Structures are given as structure tokens and as C-alpha cells.
Chain A
Amino acid sequence: MKTFKVSIVTPDGPAYESDVEMVSAKAQSGELGILPGHIPMVAPLQVGAVRLNKGAGKPDLVAVSGGFLEVRPDQVTILAQAAETAENIDIARAKEAKSRAESRLSNKQDNVDFKRAELALKRAVNRINVYEGRV
């Protein structure tokens, strides 16, 4: 099957680079699948997992925190402020972030940080899911 190049780039450097058959990601308008020969496109992403199918075997999973996806005829680039492949995720830190966000959400005094805590929780849960391969 035809493949195309995918690179996931963050401000701290490239996080993932490979030739794949299909990319699926969670765009803000819904789940999105890209196959070779897709027309050029730009779409913002949600906090979620990007699945990269390389044909045989399990797909690679990358946790991205927002950002957007750019499709070109020969290449797909994902620009995210943070992105980690499953093996690069610091699971202890993610779990800690999750419980911290949960405790912040449960005491509802500070309404200002509510949104931030919610986002933090989303990111932490996303990382844990990707780490455990539950996507």
C-alpha cells in the first residue's frame, strides 16, 4: 500500500517522524482520517491521540495537546505545543497531574482556574490512555 511521510513537530523539537499508510486524529470538527493523496488541508486538533497505521502490526500512538494538522500532497505535519509517543510518556507525572486536576475541580471555590484545570485533566487522561494503549 502507498505510504506518505508524517512528522509531528513541537517547539522542543521533532517528536515523531515516519512513513505511514494512514493517519487518524481528532480534529475539532470530529475524527479525521488521512490516506495518501489527500488534498492540502489545515485543521485544528483536539487534545487527543493520533493513530499512525504502518500497515502490519499495531498502529503507533502519539498523545498531542492541541495544535493543528497540515496535509500536503506528499506529507502530513502535525504542529502541537506538546506531543509524546507512548514510550516517551512520563506516566507517574501524568497520573499526578490527573489527581491534581481532579482535586482542583472538586473544590469549586476558584472559578478562575476551572477551565485550566479541566484542560489539564483532559491532557493527563489523554496521556494515560495513550500510554496504556486504550484509544
Chain B
Amino acid sequence: MASLRDIKTRITSTKKTSQITKAMEMVSASKLNRAETNAKAFVPYMEKIQEVVASIALGSKDVTHPMLVSRPVKKTGYLVITSDRGLAGAYNSSILRLVSNKIKERHSSKDEYVIIAVGRMGRDYFLHRGMNVALDIVGLPDQPSFSDIKDIANKAVSFFSEGMYDELYMYYNHFVSAIQQDVTEKKVLPLTDIATSSSQKLTAYEFEPAAEDIMEVLLPQYAESLIYGALLDGKASEHAARMSAMKTATDNAKELIDTLTLQYNRARQAAITQEITEIVGGVAALE
């Protein structure tokens, strides 16, 4: 049995750990709050841009744009959104597992795909396995604003128009609630499912100058905002995942402290009993 002192040390160190995890849990909770507000602020923009894109794409059937057309796929792009830091439960591992499985399923050689990695965990994972990482971005703030990711969204879209890849998938954790985040795969480019997203009555617009020219401006912006939306979603999920991971850690620490305290008290009592027995034994020997 461990000595009294050993147990005491373990109790103190577990207590300190639980203080840290508790603090991290609270920090994540407040970050989650802010991330949710950000995601909400983005909704009106997304809805509006979707509405306009849909009404243009559906309203004038003869309008085509390279970003709307599926072409034979020679190379696939994967945009993977992970976090910079760990301690977020299964947040990163579940995404990375899904992406690796998909890649294994779909491709036989390294030349058939490229990866765009957002977040240090994802970048390190793919680089370590020698996969083809075309672009990475690390050190995003916890509450990213549009200007922070404008560059990467811009590049991801222009890679498609330059023909570096012929389709682009996006992987992120979709925020459902504080305790549930779903790993999501979403096809960003080409934009084939615009029509399905809005079923309400569409307005017939005049275009100034022409519908084609507007598509030229609008579609890249739309694709970029899709990426930004996924990023906000991913950030909210990250904070939620970290919060619940830290909550579990705090709970476990509490349980461990309880068990250790019980052990400590037992050991203490055993020591006292032993002492009494020794004294009684000593007195008996004197008589």
C-alpha cells in the first residue's frame, strides 16, 4: 500500500490539474458563446447571397460559368478544417480519420489529390504522412473575421478556376449543440446544388451590366462565403468539443480525488490502529 505521503502528493497534484481543466472549460464556454454569436451574424449574409445566386442561376437558364459546370475529375482538392491545439477530445481525430478513409477509398496515387489544411493539427498530420499539402494556414484567431480567411478562401477558389483541381470537398465539424458535433463532408466546387437550397419564390432581376458579368463577381464570393461559413461552424464546434473534453477531465479528476481521499483516510486509520496496538503491546510486555 502506498504511503500516506505518496497519496497526499497525488491528491494535491490531481487537485491542481482539475483547477486547470476547470478554468479551461470556462474559457472554452465563453469562447463558444462568442463563436455562436459570430456564426449567427453571418447567417443573413449567407442567406442573401444564396438567394441572389439561386435566382440568377435559375432565372436565366442560358447563363453558364466555369464554376457551375462539372468537368471530368483528374484531381480532387480537400479542404480540411482542424484546430491549432489539441485537448479537444475527438475533434481533430474524427475529421482526420474520415479524410484519410475517403482518400484511400477514392485515390490510388498521390497525384490525384491535394490537401488544403486549416489548423496545425491537420497540417502536421498530412505532412507527417507525406501527403500532398498545397496550402496551409495556422494560427487563426479564435474568433476569425472574414478578412482573416479571405486569402485562403480566395486561393482555394482560384485553384479551382486555374484547373489545379476539378472538384473541391470541405471537411469540418458541424456544430449541432454544445455536446454534439458532426463530422461533415461538403462539396464546394463546382457549385452544382445551388438550386436545391432555396425553394421560396425567386425574384426576377434586371442585371446591370449582364448576368454573365455578375456571375463572374458573385460566384467566387459565394464560394468564399461557403468556406467562411464552414470555418465559423468549425470554430464553434472546436470550442464546444474542448469544453466538453475539459468537463470530462474535471469530472474524472474529482472522482480520482474522492477515491484517493478514501485511500488516504484508510491508510491514516490503519496507521493509528497500528500505533495503538504497538502501545498496548508495549504496556502488556512491561506488566
Interface residues of A, Cβ cutoff 8 Å to B: 9-14, 27-29, 32, 39-44, 66-68, 70, 72, 77, 79, 81-82
**Selected contact of A12 from candidates B146, B206, B207, B213, CB within 8 Å:** B146
Inter-chain contact A11/B225, CB cutoff 8 Å: yes
Interface size on B, residues (CB 8 A): 28
Inter-chain contact B41/A43, CB cutoff 8 Å: no
A70 to chain B: closest residue by CB: B52
Inter-chain contact B150/A40, CB cutoff 8 Å: no
Q: Which residues of B contact A28 (CB under 8 A)?
A: 209, 213, 217
Inter-chain contact A14/B221, CB cutoff 8 Å: no
14 additional contacts (CB under 8 A) given A13-B42, A13-B44: A12-B41, A12-B145, A13-B38, A29-B208, A40-B203, A40-B206, A42-B52, A42-B206, A43-B208, A70-B205, A72-B203, A77-B48, A81-B221, A81-B224
Given A9-B45, A12-B42, A79-B52; A40-B204 close (CB under 8 Å): yes
Inter-chain contact B146/A44, CB cutoff 8 Å: no
Q: How far is the CA of A72 from the CA of B44 in the complex (A)?
A: 16
The secondary structure that dominates the B interface is: helix
What 0/1 pattern do residues 23 to 62 of B give for CB contact below 8 A with A? Answer: 0000000000000001001101100110010001000000
B45, B150, B207, most chain A CB atoms within 10 A? B45
What is the CB-to-nearest-CB distance from A16 to chain B, in angstroms, rounded to a whole number? 13
Inter-chain contact B45/A42, CB cutoff 8 Å: no
Inter-chain contact B45/A41, CB cutoff 8 Å: no
What 0/1 pattern do residues 218 to 232 of B give for CB contact below 8 A with A? Answer: 100100110010000
Given A9-B48, A12-B42; A42-B150 close (CB under 8 Å): no
Inter-chain contact A42/B214, CB cutoff 8 Å: yes
Q: How far is the CA of A66 from the CA of B49 in the complex (A)?
A: 14
B200 in the interface, Cβ–Cβ < 8 Å? no
The 4 closest A-B pairs by CB, nearest first: A13-B41, A11-B146, A43-B208, A44-B217
What is the CB-to-nearest-CB distance from B33 to chain A, in angstroms, rounded to a whole number? 15
The secondary structure that dominates the A interface is: strand
Q: Which residues of A contact B44 (CB under 8 A)?
A: 9, 13-14
- What are 11 A-to-B residue pairs whose CB atoms are below 8 Å? A11-B145, A11-B228, A12-B146, A27-B208, A39-B206, A41-B205, A41-B207, A43-B208, A79-B52, A81-B150, A82-B146
B38, B150, B208, B224, most chain A CB atoms within 10 A? B208
Inter-chain contact A10/B146, CB cutoff 8 Å: yes
What is the CB-to-nearest-CB distance from B263 to chain A, in angstroms, rounded to a whole number? 54
Q: How far is the CA of A66 from the CA of B220 in the complex (A)?
A: 12
Q: Which residues of B contact A79 (CB under 8 A)?
A: 45, 48-49, 52, 221
Q: How far is the CA of A106 from the CA of B42 in the complex (A)?
A: 37
Q: Which residues of A contact B203 (CB under 8 A)?
A: 40, 72
Inter-chain contact A68/B218, CB cutoff 8 Å: yes
What is the CB-to-nearest-CB distance from A14 to chain B, in angstroms, rounded to a whole number? 6
Inter-chain contact B45/A11, CB cutoff 8 Å: yes
Inter-chain contact B209/A42, CB cutoff 8 Å: no
B197 in the interface, Cβ–Cβ < 8 Å? no
Q: How far is the CA of A13 from the CA of B39 in the complex (A)?
A: 9
Q: Which residues of A contact B145 (CB under 8 A)?
A: 11-12
Given A40-B206, A43-B208; A70-B214 close (CB under 8 Å): no
